[in-house]
Structure 1
Amino acid sequence: MPELRVAGQAYPVNPGSNLLDALLAAGIAVPYSCRAGSCHACMVRCVSGEPLDNNPDALSAAQRAQGWRLACQCRVVDDLNVEVFDPVRDGLPATIASVDWPSPNVLRLRLAPERPLRYRAGQHLLLWTASGIARPYSLASLAGEDPWLEFHIDCRHSGAFSDAARQFQAGDTLRLGELRGGALHYDPNWQQRPLLLMGAGTGLAPLYGLLRDALRQDHQGNIRLVHVAAHSSEHYLATELQALAAGHPQLQIERVEAAELPAALAELRLVSRQTLALLCGQPASIETFSRRLYLAGLPRNQMYADLFLPHA
């Protein structure tokens, strides 16, 4: 029977046990979110031994060389000694610059990191609370223009991180975990092509950064941004988006309530078969968007989707 060692303690585990499950069963407080290898909340460092990694491409070669693995993707097949990611030791401190509510259920969080952080629109960052709760969130800010890191947190439902976020105040300190690339990005080679940006709820967050990135790079094609919200009060960033539209005639902003979505999608037409679609939201929303776009004639390889996976 393999032996799992962590924090100076040894725990016998059944061969082939999922590493995350084994750590949790041993009472080790490992944060996790998606269990799909996407959020990277459950990173651990292998000090000795090697687990069976079902998703080795989820981390970079440099991270793997340093011993980092995603616990949810690994199985214990032999003796293994690991260190859990320590946000105090391994994370980057950041001070909360401001907290506000642009809609009744969306909290806008702006952070000032201890040192500058290089990132691009569409990337995710792991946020750690002082109590050790970790969740990945998409960046809504734009490097080089915003002096802060901005995140939009959906607080419609109770959750460990969202409940903690309701208590955040300016001056509080968080820790930043791994910065990673999301499925969305803006490619300067797209400059002449029509863009369709579709986001549900806080799926607007990365699209806002990507939209400003495209406009900063002088995108020439038409841009259509569609934001779907549960009801009209949740259509946040209205002022900011209208200001962008006023200065860029190629930009069209549409707001759709969830009850109106079937009719809106039925009327959806592509301005060109060269359109590129950037989609963001919960899996059900992404599936709805992509199915309708495919039926409208848009090839799957012209759709880029960033799924907000629910906490497992």
Structure 2
Amino acid sequence: MFTLTIDENSYTCQPGETVLDTLLRENINLSYACKKGTCHSCMVRSPDVMPPQTSQTGLKNTLKTQHYFLACQCYPEQDMCIKLSDQSDFYRMGTVIDNKLLNRNTILLVIAFEDAFEFKAGQFINLQRNDGMTRSYSIANIPQQSNTLEFHIRRLPDGKFSAWLHDEISIGDSIAVSEPRGHCFYLPERREQGLLLVGTGTGLAPLAGILTDALAHGHTGPIHLFHGSRDVEDLYRIDEMRQLAKQHLNFHYIPCLSGKQAPEGFAVGRVNEIALSRLPDLKSWRVFLCGHPDMVNQMKKQVFLKGASMADIYADAFLITLH
């Protein structure tokens, strides 16, 4: 057992506990979301001792040298004095300028900033309420629209944060937005390479950004987007994607429905199975997978077995139970 000291108060970290586990048990107010080291919401600092290397995975070197670490990934190896981060150092304020329905349970949320917001299409950010509640959402637009960010927010059962965004936040309201993170984005290299984009639900958000970015950079290789859901009412931007396919001969859009009823023009079955049946050889393809974690994790293995290099597989598995 090791002792954690915060503002001269001491707390015992039990064996097998992370720093975050201890702070939550002691009712210390600390923002967190994924508990997997992805969102970086729980970043804190150890001014006196170097934190375990594994607790700094994914952080910028400038933060590592200042002894910042992720509380959810830190299993202490010695006593530690901990400084809670000033969230204003990692967040900037934006203003909601649009909030409208995309389908029966998904909204388009648009946030504007006074200055340009640098990001890459397909990355994600954290949104934070005034009470510190934090959730991660993928960016749906492209960097050319750098003073705004667009998000597709699905209402989840018992989801406090998504319900707040759907029901309470209004145009003109301010909201805290973190710096962008994530490696699931398009790079304008090997433009003749085939691109496979597979997503479920609001996995279309990062994929739409990646697609638009690729087309804006003049990608010449084939681009196949498979967007899946159970019911047609849970898909969205169908007409927009079909129009893009008419404008760009190398882009192919396939909406997929796994339910019993499927109108004409929709593929029937699970989105991953449909994608693999239509593209059985993925050698030299670049693959982007976004949405339900079960689909993403299964598909990562499947596309690798179909010939895709691990270096060319980019994935964003949504943490659907935490929103």
TM-score using structure 2 length: 0.87
CA distance in 2 between counterparts of 1:188 and 1:265 reads: 23
1:9 offset after TM fit, Å?
2.9
Q: Is the 8 A contact 2:285 2:312 kept in 1?
A: yes
| Shift in CA distance, 292/271, structure 1 to aligned 2, threshold 3 Å | closer
Q: How big is the alpha-carbon RMSD for the aligned residues of Structure 1 and Structure 2?
A: 2.4
Q: Report what 2:319 is aligned to.
A: 309
In the alignment, what sits opposite 1:250? 250
Residue 264 of structure 2 is matched in structure 1 by none
If the length of structure 1 is used for normalisation, what is the TM-score?
0.90
1:273-284 mapped onto 2 (5 Å cutoff) = 273-284=283-294
The one-character-per-residue Cα deviations of 1:57-104 (angstroms, maximum 9, x if unpaired) are: 321111112332100111233332223334346421111111111011
Asked if the contact 1:17–1:77 (Cα under 8 Å) also holds between the matched residues in 2, the reply is no
Q: C-alpha displacement at 1:37, in angstroms?
A: 1.0
Equivalent position of 1:61 in the other structure: 61
Q: Which residue of the partner structure matches residue 238 of structure 1?
A: 238
2:269 pairs with one of 247, 261, 266:
261
Q: What's the CA shift for 1:222?
A: 1.1
Q: Which runs of 5+ in 2 are unaligned?
A: 260-267
Is the Cα contact below 8 Å between 2:153 and 2:162 reproduced in 1?
A: yes
CA distance in 2, matches of 1:127, 1:22: 24
How far apart are the structure 2 equivalents of 1:292 and 1:89? 41
- The more displaced of 25-34 and 290-299 is 290-299
Moved more, 90-99 or 286-295: 286-295
SS in 2 for 1:244: helix
Contact 2:46–2:82, Cα closer than 8 Å, also in 1: yes
Greater CA drift, 105-114 or 235-244: 235-244
Q: Which moved more, 1:160-169 or 1:222-231?
A: 160-169
Q: Is the 8 A contact 1:265 1:292 kept in 2?
A: no
Aligned to 2:170: 169
Q: Is the 8 A contact 2:49 2:67 kept in 1?
A: no
Cα distance per residue 1:94-136 (max 9 Å; x no partner):
1111111101111211111243211111211111012211111
Residues 33-48 of structure 1 mapped to structure 2, 5 A cutoff: 33-48=33-48
Give the drift of 1:171: 1.0
Contact 2:125 2:137 in 1 (8 A): yes
Further displaced range: 196-205 or 229-238: 229-238
* Structure 1 residue 48: Cα displacement: 3.1
Counterpart of 2:132 in structure 1: which amino acid? Answer: G
Aligned residue in 1 for 2:221: 221
195-204 or 146-155, which moves further after superposition?
146-155
> What do the CA deviations read for 1:256-278 (whole angstroms, capped 9, x no partner)?
01333246356323476332221
Q: Tell me the distance in 1 between the aligned counterparts of 2:106 and 2:80.
A: 42
- Structure 2 residue aligned with 1:98: 98
- Taking structure 1 as reference, are residues 145 and 173 closer, same or farther at Cα in structure 2, changes over 3 Å only? closer
Q: Which moved more, 1:201-210 or 1:48-57?
A: 48-57
- Assess if the C-alpha contact under 8 Å between 1:278 and 1:303 holds in 2: yes
Check conservation: 1:33, 1:310, Cα contact below 8 A: no
Distance, in Å, in 2 between the alignment partners of 1:296 and 1:155 is: 34
Does the CA contact (< 8 Å) of 2:194 and 2:284 recur in 1? yes
Structure 2 SS opposite 1:293: helix
Q: 1:87 to 1:301 in 2, by over 3 A?
A: closer
**Can you list the C-alpha shifts for 1:139-173, whole angstroms capped at 9, x where unaligned?**
11111136410111121322131122122111111
What SS does the aligned partner of 1:208 have? helix
Distance 1:171 1:220 in 2: 40
Per-residue deviation at 1:211?
0.5
How many residue pairs match? The answer is 311
Where structure 1 has 5 or more consecutive residues not aligned to the other structure, the ranges are none
